[in-house]
Amino acid sequence: MSHVFPRHTKASPPVADRGEGCYIIDKSGKKYFDGSGGAAVSCLGHSDPDVTRAIKDQVDRIAFAHTGFFTSEPAEELADLLVSRAPGNLDRVYFVSGGSEAVEAALKLARQYFLEKGETSRHRVIARRQSYHGNTLGALATGGNQWRREPFSPLMIETSHISACYEYRGRGEDETAFEYGQRVAGELETEILRLGPENVMAFVAEPVVGATAGAVPPVEGYFKRVREICDTYGVLLILDEVMCGMGRTGSLFAHEQDGISPDILCIAKGLGAGYQPIGAMLCTEEIYQAIEAGSGFFQHGHTYIGHPTACAAALTVFRKLSEGLVDRVSPMGAKLDEALQDAFAQHPHVGDIRGRGLFRGVELVADRATKAPFDPAAGINKKIKKAAFEAGLICYPMGGTIDGVRGDHVLLAPPFIIEDAHVSEIVGKLDTAIKSALQ
């Protein structure tokens, strides 16, 4: 009997024994292709010798030093590298242990920034429906996924949610993609005015929506309009790249492709590639200076922030990403997209194939012509996950794609080291899983 509290008490997962490149091998010797990188985490694959060596070397020097007393060389070097590569005016880096912590830190910093400036009424957060920003209470309240929010709603801060930029479901037949993007971006301005600009502190969004909607990219011009609206009303733009950042969509930072820069940026997952728990919040010099010129103390913190061993691992990961590995993402992503299109573009139960780079989503529908979803009771996403796992493919199917209840999709986020043969393996095993789930 296990004494581990699992994610699901009625499941008995196999024991992961070792990792080899794009594969995880369980105790029985069965190999699984890691087609989702866990949850878009393992961008370098498994057992990378450079990263494991960096971890061992750092542990031999000093594994941990509390940031209330010390900084560390890996943290300083990693922060310098991140700032040197980040677009816009992002200038300071606050290291945490994961994505939820990064979002929590961003929300607290946004609030304290306005307090330090004397704009004390600014506290409201606006986000988008079907977004996901983490599972701590502040991050969960910011996210717009009803299924995740509902049990804990009495505990959460009040947040406004506007429409996502979800072209497949939202664009009208009489609209161009650009017109659609401007319309849904305009909902942000409407909500700011409804709440009163003096009360709104931040708008939070994923540049490419991940887990809850399945690699949904924005249409051209959407985020530029969002940036304009935030600037007009003095609202901070917080971009959550926890899942879609660190090269996953084909550029080191996902928002680069939309020609904008945030005031605060959250990253995690691919930053450590799974080798150590780490995330980061980046902010502009203006925000940092407001704290420095005011109280001088960011009223936040966790024991393991700036962890030297985690930063040492992430430093090696980031160097590998920025020194050529990210360059593989767009061409390999194009090959994966082509293979998905060849296999599923005419499938009667595949409504949309979307994404950027090696971040791809396949949306399943009961009726392709009407886009009607399957009955949630059918549990299509769960059946696909089970069948794929049995076939030796780890992927990330989810339900509630449309509104937190209806809709099914499969998210793919394989390691950046994949080769052409791996693309065929992913699509072939996914095809087997979909056939099994729909029979």
Per-residue pLDDT tens for 416-427? 999 999 999 999
Yes or no: say if 105 and 119 are a contact pair by the CB < 8 Å rule: no
pLDDT one-digit tens code per residue, 354-393? 999 999 999 999 999 999 999 999 999 999 999 999 999 9
The chain-wide mean pLDDT, for the chain, equals 97
Query: Is residue 111 pLDDT above 90, yes or no?
Result: yes
What is the reported pTM?
Answer: 0.97
Q: What is the mean pLDDT of residues 256-277?
A: 98
Under the banding of pLDDT at 50, 70 and 90, the label for residue 147 is confident
Yes or no: say if 42 and 268 are a contact pair by the CB < 8 Å rule: no
* pLDDT for the residue numbered 362: 98
Q: What is the mean pLDDT of residues 8-29?
A: 96
At residue 422, φ and ψ (nearest 5 deg) are -70, -35
**Separation CA 204–CA 207 (nearest Å):** 10
Residues 6+ apart with CB under 8 A from 389: 32
Q: What is the mean pLDDT of residues 101-130?
A: 98
Under the banding of pLDDT at 50, 70 and 90, the label for residue 279 is very high
* pLDDT for the residue numbered 242: 98
Under the banding of pLDDT at 50, 70 and 90, the label for residue 27 is very high
Closest CA to 302 of 280, 331, 274, 283: 280
* Tokens standing for residue 407: 């809709």
**Separation CA 207–CA 217 (nearest Å):** 7
Q: What is the mean pLDDT of residues 268-276?
A: 98
Q: What percent of the chain has pLDDT over 70?
A: 100
Residues 6+ apart with CB under 8 A from 179: none
Query: Is residue 146 pLDDT above 90, yes or no?
Result: no
pLDDT one-digit tens code per residue, 153-194? 999 999 999 999 999 999 999 999 999 999 999 999 999 999
* pLDDT for the residue numbered 1: 81
Q: Which residues of 144-174 are buried (b: 16+ CB within 10 A; e: fewer)?
A: bbbebbeeeeeeeeebbbbbbbbbbbebeee
Residues 6+ apart with CB under 8 A from 326: 247, 250, 251, 252, 416
Q: What length is written for the chain?
A: 439
* pLDDT for the residue numbered 347: 97
* pLDDT for the residue numbered 113: 98
* Tokens standing for residue 71: 């900084």
pLDDT one-digit tens code per residue, 44-85? 999 999 999 999 999 999 999 999 999 999 999 999 999 999
Closest CA to 159 of 168, 169, 148, 167: 148
Q: Packing angle between helix 420-438 and helix 380-390, nearest 10 degrees? A: 130
Q: What is the mean pLDDT of residues 299-320?
A: 97
* pLDDT for the residue numbered 334: 98
